[in-house]
Structure formats: structure tokens, C-alpha cells
Structure 1
């Protein structure tokens, strides 16, 4: 059963509105659009739009990135950021801002050098037909939107694992409830963890791809489950690039 998309709290929506007001006031002056903003901040154009329109909650790192981009203080977006950034002044020195992963240089806000992107969390049924719906996919079609540091292409998505077929007692394990980030544009090879769609099954499944000469199998990581022989009755939807677990 799909989870409903998490609604932002009133305070999160107020932050988004504060950011949106500053964006509208500054984007013309700075020659910005969402595509340029995403490239400058290391996130997708879609993620920029989701932050501005209150679909994704702003966190400290995102606020710092937008503040640098728009040439404002983080506190202009969120007054609480003055406290979160550890603002301090020393005798004879200008005010500096410190944060783990941020350089301690007056007036500069440099986020942790870690690219993030935002992908939709979809159902296994949606995943089965992903190639057909990518171009028409709307923000409300996803259970939620998730930030990830996985290196993926623009058509990536997230899938929640159901059941224990990919739970392994040793080595790599993808337990029930974990989130897998999938890239439809990545190339698969023998041993890749893939999302696959069998022609006679509505839902997509995630398994390890085994190529043994002319034979191909979808192999569960749980040894209690048998491999599934495949041939022309299977389409590889994408390759799993990262597993994320919510505690």
C-alpha cells in the first residue's frame, strides 16, 4: 500500500514562502532561472522548484545554498539560522559563521562538497511503467520526494522495498522498508542489482541480475527464494545505485 505524501508543516511552508519572496525579488537582478540555480547549487532544476513551491522542506544546507546564490544572509530566509550557524565575533575581527562542513571565512557560506539531487519515491506498479510515464510525471504523482547523494541521471527514482526476498544473512542486504535509488539510464552488467518488469506481472521487482552464458536469472539475495529464469519476457527498468534506510 502506498504511503501518502508527507505534508509540510506550517513552519516549513512559511520558510518556503520566505525563500520564494526573496527569489522573486532577486532572480531578475542576478539573471537567475531555476535551471541556472540548480546548476550553481549542485541540485536538479526540479529540486529548486520543489523548494520554492513548498513541496520539499528546506534544511540547513539548502538554506545556506540558496543564501549564497541569492546574495543574502541565511537568516534572511530563516531567522533561526543565526543561531544554527554559530554566529560569533572576536575582537578586531569581522563576524564569521561556522557550521560543520562550511568554511570559516567571513561572509562566505560553502556547503559540504556533496552533490544532492531529488528523486520521486514511486510504487512498484509505477516503476513497471516508468519508461512510459517519465515525460508526463507530475510532482503529485509521487509518494514523496527524496534527497539523495547517489550519482544518478535526470530520470532516476526511488523505490521502497517490500518483503524479504532481498534480505541476505551475509554481504549486501536490502531489507524490507529500505529505499533504493534507481537510475534507468545506467548500464547493467552481470551482478547488477536491477529493477525488472516481467511481462505477465503488473509490478516491477528488484533482484540481482545473473548472466551465465546464454542464461539470465533474477536472483533474490535471500537464499530461501529461488532464482527466476528470464529471456524475452523481462525488461530491465533500471539499475539500483544506492540503498537508504529510514530508522
Structure 2
């Protein structure tokens, strides 16, 4: 395999970081807040402008709920030898041993449990009951009637959830709700399909628990 340049690695790692963040339903500002940083820092990482050192990669992985290896080694297009030999990609204060130790357990676990290095297990799911008419519409592809049962897929790693109906927990709201996720730059909105309801602009912390996969209507309890 042709050795990947430092600039290419930073760009690929940044692209992968953005993909994971969006799949988790987080804005750059929300992710930065979880890490205790400013939004520009996350933006610079995603653009590949700045190197991601090992402590920062660990902080991002913790905030996103993923393995460090998912951020530092985003795909087959990156040669592992390139990463090890170009330690400056992750900051000149980190050496090869730091990098190897940071990802060793993650890689070992993936190889042992999943076969191909970055394959994912079949999505797990849960079934929730829709309460209220906020997601009802005349569009059969965008209609979740009150009282219907909704199958929620909870494996969302690597999934772009923008524009999908998600099962989301918002700070200050007791129970998770189902709304369409819309991310527009730094702004995040939860959109009801029933136009009689107002769009929710998310200003606090939130967690996407999964996305709607199938709707079944309950005839009788």
C-alpha cells in the first residue's frame, strides 16, 4: 500500500470525526461543550487543519461514546504503518508508543469479536409506543400515528441521522421523544411531521438514542 501523507491522514481522520459526530446527532458546538473546548477546535479537527493529539482523541472518543481507534483509524484507505511512522499527525508531543497503546486494546477487541477490523454487529433495537399526534401526516412515508408501535434501531455508529426520525432525549424533558433531526451548521432542530406542532430548536444537551425503522399500528390493546 502506498504510504499516506500526513495531510491526507489528517483530512481522513477529520472526515471520520465529522461522520461520527453527525451520526450521534451532535453539533460541533455540542461536541466541543462535552469536551470543555471551543467550537473552533472541533471545526479545525474536522477540516484537517489541526493535528489531533492522543489526549484530545481520547476526550473526543469519550464524548462520542466510541473507541479511540474509530477516530484515529477511520478506514482501510489509511495504512497503519503510515500512522505509526508519522506521529506528528497526532501532535509532536506524542510518540509511537503512546499511539500504539491508545489503540491497542480497541484493535484487539475488534479483531477478536468482529472478524473484519471495522465491521459492525447487526443493529440492536427496541420498541416504543408513540404518544401524541406530532408525527402524523398525510405522507405514508412520514407518518407515525398516535398509539402506534415504533421499532427503534439503536446501533447508530457511522449512520447519518440528519433528516431521519430519531428517538432523542433532551435535557429537561422526562421521557425521550420522536422527532425528525435537522442539523443546519451550528443549529440543531427537532421537527414534527404534523405542521400543527412547532419546530423545536435544541439549545441544551441532548442524546440521540436511535432512529425509527418501522411503524406498526396497534388495533387493540
When normalised by structure 1's length, the TM-score is 0.37
Q: Which has the higher contact order (CA 8 A, sep 6+)?
A: 2
- Give 1 or 2 for the bigger CA radius of gyration: 1
TM-score (norm 2): 0.41
